[in-house]
Every structure is written in structure tokens, then in C-alpha cells.
Amino acid sequence: MVLGRTGWASTPGTAKSMRSNRRKDTKPELAIRKILHRRGFRYRVDFAPLAEHKRRRADIVFTRQKIAVFIDGCFWHGCPEHATYPKSNKDYWLPKLARNIERDRETDTVLCEAGWNVIRIWEHVVPEKAARLILDAIAGD
């Protein structure tokens, strides 16, 4: 073991940084939710659309319309434009990030098969544009 290394993190600083990442209520989520709420829409936050898949939680859920919205971070979910890859501890991180992407596809499939409309939005999308995508789905466009 490398001196100062904390398991999955290559340095104590990395461990601290990773622990500070939020699972919900990220800045992109809050900005999008604020727009939707201001326009009169109500929704569930950090909610599992399917009871049998409690760990598959969407960021914003419209239960009546069966719309599940995921605001995906570029690093964690492999954005084709902005994804970066760790230079340290690659043996840990690369499979973990690949599994995140695989789980996203599995979640999409499970939800679609159950009749849900899945919307995935990258964190870098301008909140107004992201809200428009969601509102269009609600309207059935």
C-alpha cells in the first residue's frame, strides 16, 4: 500500500474531494428544478420510479406522466464531449466509470419496458434548454 493512500483514492486530498460530491441537489439539478417549479410544475426529487428497483433513482420524476429525468454528470456518466479520465488509480476508476454507463443503459431499458419516458440531460446543458426538453416531453412533443 502506498503511504498516505486511502483505499480507492490515490491521495487523502482526492478522498476528501470525492466525498464532497453530492448525490442529489447538484447545481444543475437545482437550476432546472427552479425553472420547472416557477412554471407551475410539481415533481418528485431523487425518486425511484419502480418499486422493485429502489436503487435506480431519477433526479426529477413526474409520476402521472411517467417521465423520469436524469441529470448526468460529465465525469461520472461518460459525456462524449466533456468526460475526463483519471490519471491515477486507473485500475479502480476506469471499470467503475464503465459500470456507471452500463447501469445507465440498464436503467433506461428497465424503465422504458415499464412504460416510462426516460430523459437524460448532461450537466453542461443550459438549464433553460434542459427545462424545455422536459416540458416538451410533458406536452407529448
The verdict on residue 118 lying in a domain is yes
Q: What is the CATH number of the domain that holds 112?
A: 3.40.960.10
Residue 133 buriedness (CB in 10 A; 0-12 / 13-18 / 19+): middle
Q: Which of 53, 45, 50 is nearest to 69 (CA)?
A: 45
Q: What is the pLDDT of residues 105-125, one digit of tens each?
A: 999 999 999 999 999 999 999
On whether the CB atoms of residues 33 and 43 are closer than 8 A, the answer is yes
The verdict on residue 34 lying in a domain is yes
- Record the pTM: 0.84
- Is the pLDDT at 1 greater than 50? The verdict is no
On whether the CB atoms of residues 36 and 43 are closer than 8 A, the answer is yes
Q: How many domains does the chain have?
A: 1
Q: Which residue has the higher pLDDT, 77 or 141?
A: 77
Q: Where are the beta strands (DSSP E) in 53-123?
A: 58-62, 67-72, 117-122
Q: What is the pLDDT of residues 16-64, one digit of tens each?
A: 555 556 568 899 999 999 999 999 999 999 999 999 999 999 999 999 9
The verdict on residue 59 lying in a domain is yes
